[in-house]
Amino acid sequence: MSYYPTTYGNVSIAGHSGQYVISNGLNTTWSSATVIQSKTLQLDESADIKFGDASLMETLREIRSQLGILTPDPKLEAEFDELKACAQEYERLRAKFIEQKRMWDTLKQQTF
């Protein structure tokens, strides 16, 4: 006697006109897919994307803070020349140190 399982776990099958079917083996539902036609999804400053309880915006802020990534503010820099000069100096120094690091890494790999 052959055994055929009655459930197959979660299965998604693409349909026509942006719809797809989701089945857990017992229940089947049709859903409509969200299709983004452009290459950029632009959200306003208060928007967020959440995965369960995790906020994407909060996660990005924490990553930027831990890595020390500065976020330029062009409007404020346009108003305050000193701030713009600091941002430019930071970028100049950053490029200089990246180049220095690259040279030191290359020298470390060389054998004499």
* Count of structural domains within the chain: 2
96 part of a folded domain = yes
106 part of a folded domain = yes
Decide: helix, strand or coil at residue 3.
coil
Task: Please tell me the distance from the alpha carbon of residue 76 to that of residue 85, in angstroms, as a whole number.
Answer: 12
84 part of a folded domain = yes
From first to last of its 112 residues, the chain has per-residue pLDDT tens of 444 444 445 555 555 565 666 666 677 776 666 666 777 877 888 888 888 889 999 999 999 888 888 788 889 999 999 999 998 998 899 999 999 999 999 998 987 6
Which residues, listed in sequence order, are joined to residue 51 by a DSSP beta bridge?
54
Positions of E strands within the chain: 11-14, 19-23, 28-32, 50-51, 54-55
Domain extent for 14: 1-33
Question: What is the edge-to-edge ordering of all strands in the sheet holding 28-32?
Answer: 11-14, 19-23, 28-32
At 5 the pLDDT is 46
At 7 the pLDDT is 47
38 part of a folded domain = no
47 part of a folded domain = no
58 part of a folded domain = no
